[in-house]
Chain A
Amino acid sequence: AQTVTQSQPEMSVQEAETVTLSCTYDTSENNYYLFWYKQPPSRQMILVIRQEAYKQQNATENRFSVNFQKAAKSFSLKISDSQLGDTAMYFCAFLSTSYDKVIFGPGTSLSVIP
């Protein structure tokens, strides 16, 4: 069975600084999909960034980028130029190629400090 681990329950960063959230996962599959979701206090789930496992190039979406290390089964999220609106829970998620369900990590609560 697949599992997703986020070892940082809480993190904080100064506004305009850079922060990295860690995520590791366990799977026996060779191809799969990885995601980072943001959940602000409104509790709406917002897709931040996505990555296909067979692509070596790290995904980037504006201030958000990932460091995907397939051999290490690591998928960290880097947020550059942190903004107050980035304050939220961040969930790392795994989707197998059977596309049956998404498995979420326990989440990291990020606080951006003015």
Chain B
Amino acid sequence: GAVVSQHPSWVICKSGTSVKIECRSLDFQATTMFWYRQFPKQSLMLMATSNEGSKATYEQGVEKDKFLINHASLTLSTLTVTSAHPEDSSFYICSASNPDSVRGPLEAQHFGDGTRLSIL
């Protein structure tokens, strides 16, 4: 089945550092990828929709300059947390949909395994 790879799985860094998280669709081309943030014991909060070859669409309240999203190819989207601070510590998850699936939207989204970001 379709697989989405997310890297790194865990990163610890100092405050002020910029951190890049990669999301790759391994066996299908994803024109759209999604980035979520999840706090402990809470639901997934959609941060932005990443569209290949165009600017990302951010949800209300998400800082575009803080969370830079690039979707340069049909298999790769990156999320860069710029000048990260302790309050940015969270679990970040990406997902991708396979537009060519014969099941259409019912194919649902394929999730990466997530990235645990800890800012000291």
- Docked pose: A81 CA to B114 CA in angstroms: 30
| Assembly CA distance A55 to B18 (angstroms) | 47
Q: How large is the interface on A (under 10, 10 to 19, 20 to 34, 35 or more residues)?
A: 20 to 34
Q: B46, A33: Cβ atoms under 8 Å?
A: no
Q: Is the interface of B mostly helix, strand, loop or mixed?
A: strand
Query: How far, in whole Å, are A105 and B45 apart by their CA atoms in the complex?
Result: 10
Asked if B105 and A35 sit within 8 Å, CB to CB, the answer is no
Instruction: Check B93 against A45 for contact (C-beta < 8 Å).
Output: yes
In-complex Cβ contact of A33 among B34, B42, B106 (8 A): B106
B91 touches A97 (CB 8 A): no
Contact, CB under 8 Å: B113 / A107: no
Within 8 A of A (CB), among B20-53: 34, 38, 41-44, 46, 49
Give Cα A60 to B86, complex, Å: 43
Rank and list the top 9 A-B pairs by shortest CB-CB distance, nearest first. Answer: A45-B111, A104-B43, A106-B43, A99-B105, A104-B44, A107-B43, A43-B114, A44-B113, A33-B105
Sample of 15 further A-B pairs with CB below 8 A, known A99-B97, A104-B44, A107-B42? A33-B105, A35-B108, A43-B113, A43-B114, A45-B114, A50-B108, A52-B106, A91-B43, A91-B44, A97-B105, A100-B49, A102-B108, A103-B46, A107-B43, A109-B41
B residues touching A (Cβ–Cβ < 8 Å)? Answer: 34, 38, 41-44, 46, 49, 91, 93, 95, 97, 105-106, 108-109, 111, 113-114
Name 23 A/B residue pairs within 8 A (Cβ), A-sorted.
A35-B108, A42-B113, A43-B113, A43-B114, A44-B111, A44-B113, A44-B114, A45-B44, A45-B95, A45-B111, A50-B108, A52-B106, A97-B105, A99-B97, A101-B46, A101-B49, A102-B46, A105-B43, A106-B42, A106-B43, A107-B42, A107-B43, A109-B41
